[in-house]
Amino acid sequence: AQTVTQSQPEMSVQEAETVTLSCTYDTSESDYYLFWYKQPPSRQMILVIRQEAYKQQNATENRFSVNFQKAAKSFSLKISDSQLGDAAMYFCAYRSETGANNLFFGTGTRLTVIP
Amino acid sequence: NAGVTQTPKFQVLKTGQSMTLQCAQDMNHEYMSWYRQDPGMGLRLIHYSVGAGITDQGEVPNGYNVSRSTTEDFPLRLLSAAPSQTSVYFCASREDRNTEAFFGQGTRLTVV
């Protein structure tokens, strides 16, 4: 099984500032997807952003953007202009394009936004 | 559009009891899966299905059974509950292998 590592169990950011969450993964495949999911206290898993490995351009969704470094197997999430509603657990996830292509998750980073 | 619906939202079981966690989706998705979420461990795949009548094991299948008799439903059965199965359980579905997964709101299960 693929390994997804999130080395920051907790992070904090001041409201309106920028924060970067780290994620690395281990795979021998060349085609795959990477995701960031947000889990607020409601427990709902919400897709934040998605990146296809074959795309060199980094994905962006409003205030959320990624830095995808394929050779380094790194996939960090940048949140700009942080808002109180961004406070949540963030999970990085990997999905192969081959085989059963299920999601493999990291252990998560808890983000606190300080007013 | 209800999406992915899990019932119950909370459950307390005694060791040795059996129960079924229900998962239903109304999006006609082929792919469905069950995950468990434990503190410090992220989400781990229990079982999955790529269509009605087809199921397979994930990372942590022991102690759980699944079946997929219809496209809409994918129940997870705990055969004989153990305290180690105390967790939050998520069901997810997606249309096909290239699309995003939609998650239910989870079931918090406590086994005492």
Q: Does residue B59 carry a pLDDT above 80?
A: yes
pLDDT of A97 higher than 90:
no
Question: Distance between CA B75 and CA B68 in Å, rounded?
Answer: 8
Q: Using CB atoms, pick whichever of A9, A103, A104 lies closest to residue B101.
A: A103
> Residues A30-89: pLDDT tens digits?
899 999 999 999 999 999 999 999 998 999 999 999 999 999 999 999 999 999 999 999
Distance from A4 to chain B by nearest Cα, in Å? 10
Query: What are the Cα distances from residue B111, in Å, to A37, A66, B53, B104?
Result: 28, 39, 30, 21
Q: How far is A76 from chain B (nearest CA, A)?
A: 17
